[in-house]
Amino acid sequence: MKRIRFTPPYGDEAIVAWLDGEMEESDAEQFARLLRSDDQLAGRTAELMKSNQDYRAAFSPLLDEAPAARMQARLDAHLSEQGTPRPGVSRRALIAASVGFLLTGTGVGYLARTLTGEGSEERDENASIRDLEAHYMSLYSAETLLDADSSPPVLRRGLARIAQDVGLQLHEQQLVLPDSELKMVRILRYEHTAIAQIAWNQADYGPLALCVSAHGQGHSTAMATEQRYGMHIAWWHARGYQFALIGRTPVAQLEEAARQLQAALS
């Protein structure tokens, strides 16, 4: 069935379609561009996000005043190091970028550019990608993946998309984890980098995701662990890719799951 097309000015039905991921790709991109510059649209979108579920709690790391202040402080420190004048970053811009990032992935690059400045070079692009992935996962709650369509045909389409966009051939049999249900396979984007996100719901600890992106250098690295935004991460480089398993799972169990995936994907 052909989807309804949406154009500005946007009514609530268009905002809901965008939030639910039901917009055509070209319409969604146009909506996301306008969201970054239209205070009223950003406000209405934020309100509709809170209408059906407890989005306030889920989005508190990005929408509360304290995180905005922390992001501004990080921006100030970065600009001080670079000797760059401090630009104003509006709360609307942070909200709009956060909304776009969480629900469609389209705001990831915009959020990064807003905080660091257009054209700035990160000293470690792979660490920056892990940082964004962890920030994204910190917004997930136990309910986030409950209604995801995890039927075999949908999962297979997601795996085919990963093969096409990331160049990594995966099979469902490689993605089996104890006490975890495979719920979602999809593509996110950071600037021009495609990121494969494979997500499970763990019985005891909630959402867990393996994020895979192209690694700028072909060498392999041993598994390492770190913590970002309250999320535990086990990551490694292999075959030209960065793999990052991210969740609230205790570190020892996260490492065990990561080593199982590492062996299955080798």
Q: What percent of the chain has pLDDT over 90?
A: 40
Instruction: Express each pLDDT in 236-262 by its tens digit.
Output: 999 999 999 999 999 999 999 999 999
Cis-peptide, bond into residue 153, ω within 30° of zero: no
Per mean pLDDT, which range of 83-87, 108-112, 211-215 is the poorest?
108-112
Instruction: Express each pLDDT in 82-108 by its tens digit.
Output: 454 444 444 444 444 444 444 444 333
Tell whether the model's pLDDT for residue 175 goes beyond 80.
yes
Residue 201 pLDDT grade (very low, low, confident, very high; cuts 50, 70, 90): very high
Domains and CATH numbers, the chain: 12-121 (no CATH), 133-265 (3.40.1000)
Q: Which of 13-27, 50-64, 220-234 has the highest mean pLDDT?
A: 220-234
According to DSSP, residue 239 is labeled T
- Asked if 118 contacts 150 with a C-beta cutoff of 8 angstroms, the reply is no
Q: What percent of the chain has pLDDT over 70?
A: 70
Q: Is 210 exposed, middle or buried (0-12, 13-18, 19+ CB in 10 A)?
A: buried
In Å, what is the CA distance from 188 to each residue of 102, 157, 243? 10, 15, 14
Instruction: Express each pLDDT in 219-231 by its tens digit.
Output: 899 999 999 999 9
| Average predicted confidence (pLDDT) for the chain | 77
* Helix-then-strand count for the chain, H and E: 10, 6
Full DSSP string of 110-179: HHHHHHH-TTPPPS-HHHHHHHHHHHHHTT--TTTTTT----HHHHHHHHHHHHHHT-----GGGG--TT
